[in-house]
Amino acid sequence: MDSELEKRFATQEQKIDAVFKSVERIRKYMYWTFVLTLVFFVLPLIALIFVIPAFMGSLGSSVNF
């Protein structure tokens, strides 16, 4: 009976290690998805807050408002 339990524990340990590796891979994918979302979506929106007023000012000065 002890050898059967040891085999089961060894099998469970292997499965737990496989699940851990899979979860870590998913965590890394989610992290990089978040980082890329910030870089390509949020930061340009923040930049537009500063660019649009400058553009409107130069457009207004060229039209003589």
Residue 59 lies in a domain: yes
Residue 8 lies in a domain: no
pTM equals 0.65
What are the tokens at 6?
């040891």
Q: Is the dihedral of CA 27, 32, 33, 38 positive or negative?
A: positive
DSSP annotation of 39: I
Residue 62 lies in a domain: yes
Q: Please name the residue that has the structure tokens 């400058």.
A: 54
pLDDT of 65 higher than 70: no
Mind listing the pLDDT tens digit for each residue in 6-60? 999 999 999 999 999 999 999 999 999 999 999 999 999 999 999 998 888 887 7
> How many domains does one find in the chain?
1
Expressed as residue numbers, the domain containing 52 is 36-65
Alpha carbons 45 and 48: distance in angstroms, whole number: 5
pLDDT at residue number 57: 83
Residue 44 lies in a domain: yes
Residue 26 lies in a domain: no
